[in-house]
């Protein structure tokens, strides 16, 4: 990858990005929970394919300011994406500013970030494509059949294991997320009927059930599914392995 991965802030939101020297489409990636803090391979994958790439960290996670989920994550993401219109970023390494130009915007959401990406795309209709990897579609239904990760146990685990990476005081992730209307299918599904949606999901996923994806994709007229067998936590591997199909999805649905 030519150039470097820039670390920067927009307001209190920390993000990493890799920029093209010419006008290009942008990919904005919303991570899972608990997300890792190393996205170099994923950034490189999209950048090498000609995209400007941006990976923000949620409020209250890693280098971003504040408390996790103290504010609506959909509104936080929209605020971050709105800053991209400035077409400029200040590199924290040398404090120099770099300009960039964006054509279309593609939104990518992984796992926990799946429902957030759907909410963002529904509330802020500036995206040409939506790409989801093993997405959590409806937090209120998660674990209802006992075949998925227990989010309440996950909340307690993250408090213990990521206490300096995620800052929050609540005990029930699902209860907290239920406060945000944009994360509910009844909000975002009707608003995404014209959105090209691509989902990559492992049928053997034990973290987020594949059956939810099968059911949800019936509600999207322009949905495409790619089944893979790389597990739940893998993001860059299935994208890289199925890049021809991903690229075809973008180009077939690329207007203007």
User: Phi and psi at residue 24, in whole multiples of 5°?
Assistant: -155, 160
Average pLDDT of the residues in 20-33: 97
Q: Residue 170 above 70 pLDDT?
A: yes
| Domains of the chain in sequence order | 6-243 (3.40.50.1820)
Partners of residue 26 on adjacent β-strands: 52, 105
C-alpha torsion sign, points 59, 60, 62, 65: positive
142-151, 199-208, 233-242: least confidently modelled range: 142-151
pLDDT in tens, 37-84: 999 999 999 999 999 999 999 999 999 999 999 999 999 999 999 999
Task: Determine the pLDDT at residue 216.
Answer: 96
Q: Is 126 left (phi over 0), alpha (psi -120 to 50) or beta?
A: alpha
Task: Determine the pLDDT at residue 254.
Answer: 79
Task: Determine the pLDDT at residue 108.
Answer: 98
Task: Determine the pLDDT at residue 256.
Answer: 56
Task: Determine the pLDDT at residue 121.
Answer: 98
Q: Residue 141 above 90 pLDDT?
A: no
Task: Determine the pLDDT at residue 246.
Answer: 97
Task: Determine the pLDDT at residue 234.
Answer: 82
Residue with tokens 């994923």: 42
Q: Is 180 or 4 the better-scoring residue by pLDDT? A: 180
Banded pLDDT at 2 (limits 50, 70, 90):
low
**pTM recorded for the entire structure:** 0.96
Tell me the two tokens of residue 155: 């909340």
Q: How many C-alpha atoms does 132 have within 13 Å on its Cβ side?
A: 31
Banded pLDDT at 23 (limits 50, 70, 90):
very high
The b-or-e profile of 214-249 (16+ CB within 10 A means b, else e) is eebbeebebbbebebebebebbbebbbbbeeebeeb
Task: Determine the pLDDT at residue 145.
Answer: 75
Mean pLDDT of the chain: 95
pLDDT in tens, 88-132: 999 999 999 999 999 999 999 999 999 999 999 999 999 999 999
């Amino acid at each position: 990858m030519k150039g470097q991965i820039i670390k920067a802030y927009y307001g209190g939101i920390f993000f990493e990005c890799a920029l093209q020297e010419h006008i290009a489409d942008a990919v904005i990636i919303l991570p899972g929970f608990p997300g890792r803090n190393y996205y170099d391979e994923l950034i490189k994958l999209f950048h090498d394919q000609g995209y400007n790439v941006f990976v923000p960290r949620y409020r209250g996670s890693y280098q971003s300011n504040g408390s996790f989920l103290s504010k609506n994550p959909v509104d936080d993401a929209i605020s971050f994406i709105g800053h991209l219109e400035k077409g400029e970023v200040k590199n924290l390494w040398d404090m120099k500013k770099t300009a960039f130009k964006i054509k279309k915007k593609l939104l990518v959401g992984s796992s926990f970030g799946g429902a957030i990406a759907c909410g963002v795309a529904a509330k802020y209709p500036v995206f040409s494509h939506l790409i989801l990897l093993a997405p959590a579609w409806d937090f209120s239904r998660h674990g209802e059949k006992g075949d998925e990760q227990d989010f309440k146990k996950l909340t307690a685990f993250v408090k213990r294991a990521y206490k300096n990476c995620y800052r929050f005081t609540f005990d029930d992730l699902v209860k907290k997320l239920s406060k945000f209307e944009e994360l509910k299918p009844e909000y975002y599904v009707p608003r995404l009927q014209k959105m090209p949606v691509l989902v990559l999901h492992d049928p053997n996923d034990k973290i987020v059930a594949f059956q939810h994806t099968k059911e949800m994709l019936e509600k999207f007229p322009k949905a495409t599914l790619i089944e893979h067998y790389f597990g739940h936590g893998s993001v860059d591997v299935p994208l890289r392995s199925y890049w021809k199909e991903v690229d075809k999805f973008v180009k077939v649905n690329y207007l203007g």
